[in-house]
């Protein structure tokens, strides 16, 4: 018995002790788990994905075939001019889903369940924004395919075209964190729809997305030239090679350097709203 006990003791002492994962590895693991949860939710509720992909198709067909004969862009086909605007509008409004879904999770008590688990608070928000980034990526693919069908083409290089897509998705991802912070701050998911309409609707339509800003009345033209959505649209047009020859883009720094302006805007949004959202998540309680 003594020999057997000694052998058991020796084997236990020789057994390797499980190593705790590093904080960074644990954070990535938690983020992947919450991201996977949101992807599974999309699979179980396919209506979200269906309507998310139908909307950009509708806009592409509407502007390409209904308005293309009424709006003339000198030196360019309106179908090529409009596509960057539709891309920008879709990803901007698509980012609002992050805020709505966050507010809905709070009302359903899902956030309270996450808070009881031994996981990093920021991982819940990372999973939310990562899942919505995938939805926006699918929308982009659908819009690109639809645009190619109606006659839109990338006139620049393949690398520049891919850079345009990445820039649009990166801006949408940064805006998702803004909407997450709003979703953590409101008392009802329905408020997100009102906020998106009041704020994002003017930003997308009082811009160069659908008509050249030079055609707008002076007060609206000034607003459009400083509008971040205008910088995003112009940056996408430049990278896709869809800027009409001779088109006036404006004298503001953002219009003269749209790609740099968008990159700076993305960095500022992430630097401000990622820590704000994590801080707000730590203070939030159930609002059910």
Residues 47-80 have pLDDT tens digits of: 767 777 788 888 888 887 777 667 777 777 888 8
Question: What's the pLDDT score for residue 216?
Answer: 87
pTM for this model (two decimals): 0.84
Residue 271 covered by a domain:
yes
Q: Is the dihedral of CA 126, 124, 23, 12 positive or negative?
A: negative
Question: What's the pLDDT score for residue 287?
Answer: 44
Residue 6 covered by a domain:
no
Residue 259 covered by a domain:
yes
What is the residue range of 117's domain?
Answer: 47-283
Q: Regarding predicted confidence, which is higher, 186 or 269? A: 269
Residue 64 covered by a domain:
yes
Residue 1 covered by a domain:
no
Residue 11 covered by a domain:
no
Residues making up the chain, counted from first to last: 288
Residue 23 covered by a domain:
no
Domain count of the fold of the chain: 1
What average pLDDT is seen over the chain?
81
Whether the pLDDT of residue 214 is over 90: the answer is no
Residue 135 covered by a domain:
yes
Q: What is the mean pLDDT of residues 75-98?
A: 86
Distances (CA, A) of 170 to 3, 30, 113: 65, 22, 30
């Amino acid at each position: 018995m003594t020999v057997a006990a000694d052998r058991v003791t020796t084997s236990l002492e020789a057994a390797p002790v499980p190593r705790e994962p590093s904080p960074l590895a644990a954070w990535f693991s938690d983020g992947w788990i919450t991201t996977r949860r949101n992807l599974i939710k999309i699979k179980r509720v396919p209506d979200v994905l269906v309507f998310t992909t139908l909307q950009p198709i509708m806009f592409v067909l509407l502007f390409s075939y209904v308005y293309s004969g009424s709006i003339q862009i000198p030196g360019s086909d309106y179908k090529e001019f409009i596509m960057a605007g539709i891309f920008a509008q879709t990803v901007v409004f698509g980012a609002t889903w992050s805020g709505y879904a966050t507010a809905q999770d709070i009302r359903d008590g899902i956030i309270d369940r996450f808070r009881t688990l031994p996981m990093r608070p920021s991982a819940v928000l990372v999973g939310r924004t990562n899942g919505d980034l995938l939805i926006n990526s699918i929308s982009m693919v659908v819009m690109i395919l639809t645009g190619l069908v109606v006659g839109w083409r990338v006139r620049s290089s393949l690398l520049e075209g891919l850079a345009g897509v990445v820039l649009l998705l990166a801006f949408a991802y940064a805006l998702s964190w803004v909407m997450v912070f709003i979703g953590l701050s409101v008392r009802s998911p329905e408020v997100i729809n009102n906020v998106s309409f009041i704020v994002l609707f003017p930003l997308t339509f009082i811009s160069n997305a659908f008509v050249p800003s030079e055609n707008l009345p002076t007060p609206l033209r000034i607003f459009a030239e400083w509008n971040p959505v205008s910088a995003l649209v112009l940056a996408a047009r430049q990278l896709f090679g869809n800027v009409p020859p001779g088109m006036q883009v404006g004298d503001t720094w953002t219009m003269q350097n749209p790609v740099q302006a968008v990159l700076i805007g993305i960095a500022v949004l992430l630097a401000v709203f990622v820590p704000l959202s994590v801080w707000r998540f730590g203070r939030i309680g159930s609002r059910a």
